[in-house]
A and B are shown apart, each in its own frame.
Chain A
C-alpha cells in the first residue's frame, strides 16, 4: 500500500467573494462555506467563521475538534472514509493536504442533566492561547485556524448536535482542500511500509482511543468504536483519516482528528522505517473498557495482533486518563511478559513540585520506559488577551454549580485539565516534567 501526500502550504488565509487557493494564499468565502454545509445544520441555528493566525494575542474557547483539511485525488476511497459515503478502505493513492492550516470547531455544548453528557462525562471548555505560557501545549498556536462557531438550536439531543458539528467540520475541510486540485504541491511525501529489512526490529504502535458514549467518543470509518475489539490498521489508513475524534470531555486528554491524521508517533515511526526499524502497523483499540475482564481481553488481543506481526517492540499510547492508563499498562505488562519490548508516553500528576502523591494512576513493574508528557497538576496563569474566539464567557466547574468568568481576562488554573491538549498523549508537544 502506497500513499502520496501532497502538501500545499497555507501562508495566509483571507476572506473573499470566492473560495480559492493560489500561491500559498487561501481565499475563503463565508457564503460558499455556509452553502456547502446546509444539509448538515438541522440542529444548528447559525454558523460563523473566524480566522485565527499565529502570533495573534488571541484565545480560542469551547474548542471541540480540530481537523486536517484534506482531499483525496487518487484512490478508491474518499478522505475521512465512511463519512459522506461508504467505508471503503483508505490509505493508498494520492491525498492533497492544506499544510499549516486547520479547521477548528467551537461550540458551548449544553450542560445537560438527564442525558449522556450528565455526570462527569460532560463537555468541558477546552481553552487554547495563540501566545503566552500555554501556547506550546497545542500545535495549533503555530497553524492558521479557521474556527467554525456554532450557534445551536435549543432542545436537541447530544447525538444530534454532535453529528451536525462533525459533519460540518469535515465538509468545510473537504471543500477548502479541494481547491488545491489544479495546482502543484509544495512538497510530496510517499508513505509505504511494504519493504521490510529483516535485520531491523519490527515495531508497532498500539493506539488506544476513548469511547464512553456521546461526547466521549472516537469514530472508525464513521462509526463509534463501542464494540471494537483491537484491530489492525495500516498506518496509511490513519494518515487518510480513518479515525475521527468526537471527544469533548477532557480538554487535556482528548486527541483531535488533526493528530490522529498527523499522528506524531506514526510520523516518527515512518521517519525511522527502513533505517532503524520496520514499522509494521497500528494496533487500534478502545480504551475505557468497562470491566477488568474487558480490559484483559483487549490487552490480550492487542498483544496477539502484535505477535502475528512478529513484533519486537511496541509503543503504547492512549487517549484519556486513569481508566485508559489501566488498559495501557495491562497491554505493556502482557507484551513484556511475552518478550515484546514496550515504551509509552503519558501525562503525570505529582502536585506542584512533583513530590505529592503518585505520578501515575497505574503502573506495572514491566513499564520501565515511560516518557513524560508533562504534569497536569501545575498552576498556569493565562494572561489578558486582545481577542477571544468562541464566546464571551468561560464555562467551568459544572460539578461545583458552574463558574462563568469573562473569557478575555487573566485567569489562573491549578491544573491543566481545561487547557487544550496539555496531556500530550499523542506525543505532539515538547512539554514534559523536568527533574530537579
Chain B
C-alpha cells in the first residue's frame, strides 16, 4: 500500500535559514526534511512520510498582508501534493511561530485537509485558533521536543487515517469547546473530592467546567524613561472622520478604523464624529479631542515629555462586542503597533 503523505510546516529557525534576523523571509519550499519533520517519520512505522516541508519567517506570516500573499502558493502546493495531513510545529511557547502554525493550520483545514499543530498552553495562538483546530499540547520550550513529537506523530497518523478521534484528555489536544455527555471512569463524587484534595495538597488541578473566565491581562512593564515613549491613541468611543469612510459598525464591532493624524494638532469639530451606538455622542462630537486627546498629546510631544505620537489613531465601538472579537481587534491593533515600534498607548473608552 502506498504511504500516506504529510505536508509539514516549520519556521525559518527550524528550517536552518536563520534566527530572528531571518524572521522576515517569505515562503520557502525546502528540498530536504529539516527539524521536527526529520524526526517525526520514525513514529509512523512506514505508514506515512513527509513528502514536503515548507517554511516561512515568523514575522512574515504574522503580517496580514504578507501572509495573504503566500496563500496562492500554499494552494498550489496543496493541489500538487494532495497531502493526507498537514502538520505545523511544534511551536512550544514561541508566540509568533505559534500564531504562524495555527493560522496556516486553520487555513489548510478549511481547504478540507486534516490538519494539526502543536504548542504550549500559554502560547497566545491557542486561544486564538483552538475553537476548530487540533492543537496538541507540548511542554514550554523546545527542550520538550522528545516528549512532544511522539504525541504529535501519533495523532497526525490517526487523523490522516481518518480514525475516530477520542476526547481531548486521551489524545492530548487542547479542548476545542465541544462537550458531549459520556460516562467517566469515576463518579462525580469521587472527582469532586479528588480535585479538592489536589487543591489542598498544592498539586496541579484543572476545572472540568471552564470558567466563563475573565482573563487577567498582565500589564506591560512601565517605561522607565518617559522620553522613550512612542505612543498611539486608541479609543473604543467610535470616533471616525465625518461620514464614517470605513463603514465601521455602530455596535457589535468586528474591526477597527485607522486614521492618519500626521501634521495635525487637534481633531476638529465637524471633521470627526462619534458613531458609537451606545451613548449620547453630543459632547464627543462637540470636541472630538475628548475621545482622542490629540490636542493634549501633541502638547506632551512638543514639550519633549514623550518622544512622539504614532502616525494614526485607532478607533472602534465598544458596545455589544463579544469577547472573542474584542480580543481579535485588540490583538490586531497590538501587532501593528508593535511592528511600528510603538511602546505605549493612550486608551480611552466611553
Contacts and interface: CB of A to CB of B under 8 A. Distances in A.
Contacts of B184: 430-432, 434
B207 interface: yes
B247 to A, nearest CB: 30
Interface stretch (B103-111, B187-195, B256-264): B187-195
B209 A378 contact: no
Interface string A102-122: 000000000000000000000
A432 B189 contact: no
A434 B182 contact: yes
A367 B211 contact: yes
Nearest to B169: A435
B196 A343 contact: yes
Contacts of A314: 196
B178 A268 contact: no
A315 B191 CA distance: 11
Given A264-B188, A378-B181, A342 B196 contact: yes
A357 B135 CA distance: 23
Q: Name the residue in B175, B179, B184, B210 with the highest tally of chain A Cβ atoms < 10 Å from its Cβ.
A: B179
Nearest to B179: A354
Contacts of A363: 209, 211-212
Contacts of B176: 435-436
A433 interface: yes
B158 to A, nearest CB: 14
Contacts of B179: 348, 350, 353-355, 359, 372, 375, 433-436
A372 B179 CA distance: 10
Q: Name the residue in B178, B181, B208 with the highest tally of chain A Cβ atoms < 10 Å from its Cβ.
A: B181
Interface string B274-297: 000000000000000000000000
Contact of B183 (A267, A276, A345, A430): A430
B181 A375 contact: yes
Interface stretch (B10-18, B197-205, B342-350): B197-205
Contact of A427 (B191, B207, B212): B191
B81 interface: no
A429 interface: yes
Contact of B190 (A268, A313, A353, A378): A268
Contacts of A435: 167-169, 175-176, 178-179
A346 B178 CA distance: 18
B65 interface: no
20 contacts: A313-B199, A313-B200, A317-B192, A343-B196, A343-B199, A345-B191, A348-B209, A354-B178, A354-B180, A355-B179, A359-B179, A363-B211, A370-B207, A371-B191, A427-B187, A430-B185, A432-B181, A432-B183, A436-B167, A436-B176
Given A436-B176, A436-B180, 15 more contacts: A136-B183, A264-B189, A342-B196, A343-B199, A345-B191, A355-B179, A365-B214, A368-B207, A369-B196, A369-B207, A371-B209, A430-B185, A431-B181, A433-B180, A433-B208
Interface of A: 136, 201, 203, 264-265, 267-269, 272, 276-277, 312-315, 317, 341-346, 348, 350, 353-355, 358-360, 363, 365, 367-375, 378, 424, 426-436
